[in-house]
């Protein structure tokens, strides 16, 4: 399935959607490297429960998703029916078609011919703020995107909270993800103008619901991503996972509450300097070699971050972990060390 989730196929997708089960693992990934050397205890269960929570909320608002339920003791259940946290989710499956790799890039022409029941080859990103160092500033400076592409009237400031969210796009099925203009995203996806506008509206709806829910736990939703498919009726359907610290950049009392703390640790290593030099080249993951393991105290703090976030966003104490405020204070102390 990928670096952090495993997939069991129960019924292959055909002309109709299939059925599968995601197992959310305790693995993690940064910088597109793939599986890192540590396991973060209970991370998989926390992400599974959080994603189920938001899928059920969105379903209740009339949004189509691939979510079928959580699996406990082999039985598919709703979130309020499980006795404790689980790491398996049952979902509808669609076909995944990959663009053909060519010398001058990727050929997406297959997506112009498909009717439905396939993964749209995009990651759709919403941005409620633009932190210092955001790719948006670099892309604007290089002329790769224009202010109007982002719905902006003037150049944003680093750290600015946006009046209206930005919807941004990147590739999903290429070896190294790259950002796309709105027009290129629409073109390679095979979506009509109307369908693409529906996709933008869906993204803003997901953003609004996640932002409102996490704010109840004192969490700020800075940005996040979604993935979508077209079902057999060619209707948009949310897929993969959403609303977790891996899919979103959350903050708490101004402290990053996402994988950013892990990225900051690794940016200080020789391994990361090799990643910077080689990423995107042929066999770059083999060239840069194995990443170092995490310090024990940092590993424990990140594990607690996932568990405490799940407890406080869902309103159920699934895990025996400290209050989120206490956990984020520890995370802040680590970040100060790695930024120093």
Q: How much is the pTM?
A: 0.92
Residue 148 confidence (pLDDT): 82
End-to-end CA, the chain: 37
Fold of the 5-339 domain:
D-amino Acid Aminotransferase; Chain A, domain 1 (3.30.470)
For residues 40 and 28, is the Cβ–Cβ distance under 8 A? Answer: yes
Tell me the C-alpha distance between 73 and 81, whole Å: 12
Give residue-wise pLDDT tens across range 281-307.
889 999 999 999 999 999 999 999 999
Residue 340 confidence (pLDDT): 62
Concatenated DSSP letters of 205-248: HHHHHHHHHHHTTTEEEEEEEEEEEE-TTS-EEEES--SSTTTE
Give residue-wise pLDDT tens across range 243-292.
999 999 999 998 989 888 899 899 999 999 999 999 988 899 999 999 99
Tell me the C-alpha distance between 326 and 333, whole Å: 11
Q: Between 149 and 312, where is the model more confident?
A: 312
- Residue range 136-141: average pLDDT? 88
Tell me the C-alpha distance between 132 and 252, whole Å: 17
> Is the confidence at residue 8, as pLDDT, over 90?
yes
Task: Classify each residue of 37-57 as buried b or exposed e, where b means 16 or more C-beta atoms within 10 Å of its C-beta.
Answer: ebebbbbbbbbbbbbbbbbbb
């Amino acid at each position: 399935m990928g670096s952090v989730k495993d997939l069991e196929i129960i019924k292959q997708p055909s002309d109709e959607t299939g059925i599968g089960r995601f197992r959310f693992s305790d693995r993690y990934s940064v910088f597109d490297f793939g599986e890192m050397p540590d396991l973060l205890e209970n991370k998989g269960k926390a992400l599974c429960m959080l994603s189920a929570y938001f899928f059920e909320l969105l379903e209740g608002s009339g949004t189509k998703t691939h979510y079928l339920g959580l699996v406990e003791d082999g039985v598919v259940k709703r979130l309020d029916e499980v006795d404790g946290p689980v790491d398996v989710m049952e979902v509808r499956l669609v076909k995944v078609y990959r663009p053909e790799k060519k010398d001058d890039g990727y050929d997406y022409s297959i997506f112009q011919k498909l009717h439905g029941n396939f993964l749209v080859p995009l990651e759709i990103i919403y941005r409620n703020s633009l932190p210092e160092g955001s790719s948006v500033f670099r892309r604007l400076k290089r002329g790769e995107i224009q202010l109007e592409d982002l719905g902006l009237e003037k150049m944003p400031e680093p750290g600015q909270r946006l009046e209206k969210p930005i919807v941004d796009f990147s590739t999903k099925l290429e070896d190294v993800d790259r950002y796309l203009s709105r027009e290129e995203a629409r073109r390679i996806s095979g979506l009509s103008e109307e369908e693409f506008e529906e996709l933008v509206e869906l993204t803003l709806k997901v953003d609004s619901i996640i932002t409102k829910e996490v704010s109840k736990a004192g969490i700020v939703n800075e940005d996040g991503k979604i993935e979508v498919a077209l079902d057999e009726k060619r209707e948009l359907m949310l897929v993969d996972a959403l609303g977790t610290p891996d899919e979103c950049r959350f903050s708490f009392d101004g402290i990053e509450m996402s994988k950013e703390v892990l990225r900051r640790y690794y940016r200080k290593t020789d391994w990361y300097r090799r990643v910077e030099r080689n990423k995107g080249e042929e066999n770059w993951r083999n060239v840069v070699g194995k990443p170092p393991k995490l310090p024990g105290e940092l590993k424990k703090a990140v594990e607690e971050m996932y568990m405490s976030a799940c407890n406080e966003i869902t309103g159920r104490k699934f895990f025996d972990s400290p209050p989120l405020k206490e956990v984020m204070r520890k995370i802040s102390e680590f970040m100060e060390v790695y930024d120093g």
